[in-house]
């Protein structure tokens, strides 16, 4: 594999009358990288007076990402996110998930003064991290195991009133981090001109719980950075493009939507005319997506007859484990057994013949998973589609754990985008994310997963946490409730849902009897958890696993009493 110093490199740039490669670093010109880090004038520079000296004053908004979001930054390919660790200072930093097809470029445009010298600096961490100004100079580091400061300077051209600064990684080099980015110098005239009104808002699709919208782009003297979508006068979501899907809606209900544009200075346009949409009826005839589905694993532990368990307990759904990758981006049971023609398909057919159904669990803690093996969201969606088609599924669950998926920003985003694609291609399909939790709610990776699900408009139906393996905590009922309440708080904060809407999008997946670290959940505790889940109308209840629920299927029988 070519290294970043040799891959995708254009001919050398003529700098100050020379071909210059001595500085060893690249500058972006259009979509190509060339070797040249000498000082350069930005566009518009010519025979001008000597530049003025910049006075130290950071012109960037949210330079340390302490807001927890990226509204002030424009990150390509959805590859940027805000993380809580590692940071240089404060509590937040930027993570850019550079992949084979994206360098995870994040940029911000600011007002500047003509003919003025500015100093740009940032603390970065990772392999081949770049800092620069578009049309000007750049600097980089080949490898920074810990935060390292990069500094460069540039001079604006005559008549130049804005400048774009950026940070990015390199193709295939993995996630980089950046923090405390600073652009020192005098600011330009403040932008007080509002964008124009977006054009022609329209409804492009509906489901029982969502409405998809589109509109024509607005114009602005500097540039539109986002659009606010309002539902019945309340902000529902903010997007950077000209489409949005508003989720968490009630079935068979009418809503009015308006859109306004926003520029980097915070100026907002007038609202569009309202467009009306009515969500679809809930075809299932139920109050929402409710699923009691304990795990059944045919690859381990003397698996029981699923129909005998159904007859003995009244359970109707199973979460069937595990779909993994085989020979690249191809789905198979345990990476070994084919989707059809074996014991797994026979079990699914028997369950359905007995009046039940299944949701396959894709992923898990260990094994060769599809998320890292499928190189793009489109390829991963294709793998998911093979599973959907094999069993004509109405729901799929992605169990996202461990460092290869859960703690990997690029794979997190790939999974979310893939689920968005299959949701769009399979009307009525329910999508579930299952992931670990702290006893107080999601950890930083869980927070990121939820935030990116919202930002990417993935339209996830259920966020299921696994409240166990906390490290020896004895009060499994109390800690399960606290973890679920923490998830509810995060969902209401990110999606703007009511408490009831958030609970309806929540699932609990426990572990019967002993957890991996010795925590004990008795049938009595599981009954308490089930009753609490029913009283709060959450959407899903599962446990690991029916294989371990012997000899009397007590936990399965308790789970069958979950009504949501």
Which sequence positions are flagged as catalytic? 401
Query: 407-438 burial by CB neighbour count: b if 16+ within 10 A, else e?
Result: bbbbbbbbbbbbbbbbbeebeebbbbbbbbbb
Q: How is residue 302 written in tokens?
A: 């003397």
β-bridge partners, 523: none
DSSP state of 451: H
Alpha carbon 410 to chain centroid, angstroms: 9
β-bridge partners, 320: 296, 360
Start-to-end Cα distance in the chain? 51
For residue 99, CA distances in Å to 210, 317, 410 come to: 31, 38, 7
Alpha carbon 50 to chain centroid, angstroms: 47
Radius of gyration for the alpha carbons in the chain, expressed in angstroms and rounded:
26
Q: How is residue 282 written in tokens?
A: 């809930």
Angle in degrees, 0-180, between the axes of helices 444-455 and 476-495, rounded to the nearest 10: 30
74-75 and 106-111 strand pairing: antiparallel
Q: Where are the alpha helices (DSSP H) in 246-397?
A: 306-313, 343-353, 370-373, 377-391
The answer to whether 495 and 446 have CB atoms below 8 angstroms apart is: no
Query: 251-263 burial by CB neighbour count: b if 16+ within 10 A, else e?
Result: beeebebbbbbbb
DSSP per position, 207-228: -SS-EEEEEEPP--SS-EEEEE
- Which residues have CB under 8 Å from 18's CB, separation 6+? none
């Amino acid at each position: 594999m070519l290294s970043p110093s040799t891959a995708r490199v254009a001919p050398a740039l003529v700098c100050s009358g020379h071909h210059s490669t001595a500085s060893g670093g690249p500058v972006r010109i259009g979509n190509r990288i060339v070797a040249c880090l000498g000082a350069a004038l930005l566009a518009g520079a010519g025979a001008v007076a000597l530049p003025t000296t910049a006075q130290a004053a950071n012109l960037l908004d949210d330079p340390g990402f302490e807001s927890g979001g990226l509204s002030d930054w424009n990150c390509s390919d959805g590859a940027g996110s805000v993380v809580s660790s590692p940071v240089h200072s404060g509590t937040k930093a930027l993570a850019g998930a550079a992949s084979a097809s994206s360098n995870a470029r994040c940029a911000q445009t600011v007002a500047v003064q003509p003919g003025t010298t500015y100093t740009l600096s940032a603390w970065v961490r990772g392999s081949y991290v770049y800092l620069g100004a578009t049309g000007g100079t750049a600097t980089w580091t080949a490898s920074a195991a810990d935060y390292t400061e990069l500094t460069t300077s540039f001079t604006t051209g005559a008549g130049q009133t804005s400048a774009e600064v950026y940070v990015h990684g390199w193709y295939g080099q993995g996630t980089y981090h950046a923090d405390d980015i600073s652009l020192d110098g005098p600011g330009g005239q403040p932008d007080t001109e509002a964008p124009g009104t977006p054009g022609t808002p329209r409804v492009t699709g509906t489901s029982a719980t969502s409405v998809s919208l589109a509109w024509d782009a607005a114009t602005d003297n500097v540039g539109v950075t986002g659009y606010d979508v309002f539902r019945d006068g309340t902000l529902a979501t903010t997007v950077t493009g000209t489409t949005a899907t508003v989720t968490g809606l009630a079935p068979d209900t009418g809503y009015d939507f308006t859109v306004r544009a926003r520029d980097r200075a915070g100026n907002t346009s007038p609202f569009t005319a309202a467009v009306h949409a009515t969500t679809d009826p809930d075809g299932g005839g139920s109050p929402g997506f409710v699923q009691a589905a304990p795990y059944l694993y045919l690859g381990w532990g003397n698996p029981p007859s699923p129909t005998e368990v159904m007859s003995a307990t009244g359970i109707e759904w199973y979460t069937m484990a595990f779909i993994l990758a085989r020979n690249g981006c191809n789905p198979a049971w345990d990476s070994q057994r084919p989707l059809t023609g074996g014991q797994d398909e026979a079990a699914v057919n028997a369950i359905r013949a007995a009046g039940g159904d299944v949701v396959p669990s894709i992923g898990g803690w260990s094994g060769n998973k599809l998320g890292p093996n499928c190189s793009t969201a489109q390829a991963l969606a294709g793998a998911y589609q093979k599973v959907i088609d094999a069993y004509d599924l109405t729901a799929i669950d992605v169990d996202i754990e461990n460092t290869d998926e859960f703690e990997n920003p690029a794979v997190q985003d790939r999974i979310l985008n893939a689920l968005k694609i299959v949701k769009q291609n399979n009307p009525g399909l329910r999508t579930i994310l299952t992931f670990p939790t702290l006893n107080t709610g999601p950890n930083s990776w869980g927070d990121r997963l939820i935030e990116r699900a919202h930002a990417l408009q993935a339209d996830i139906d259920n966020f299921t946490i696994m409240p166990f393996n906390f490290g020896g905590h004895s009060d499994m009922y109390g800690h399960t409730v606290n973890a679920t309440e923490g998830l509810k708080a995060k969902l209401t904060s990110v999606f703007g849902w009511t408490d009831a809407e958030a609970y309806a999008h929540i699932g609990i997946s426990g572990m019967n009897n002993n957890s991996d670290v010795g925590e004990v959940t008795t049938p009595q505790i599981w009954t308490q958890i089930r009753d609490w889940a029913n009283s709060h109308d959450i959407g899903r209840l599962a446990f690991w696993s029916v294989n371990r629920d012997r000899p009397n299927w007590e936990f399965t029988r308790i789970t069958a009493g979950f009504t949501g």
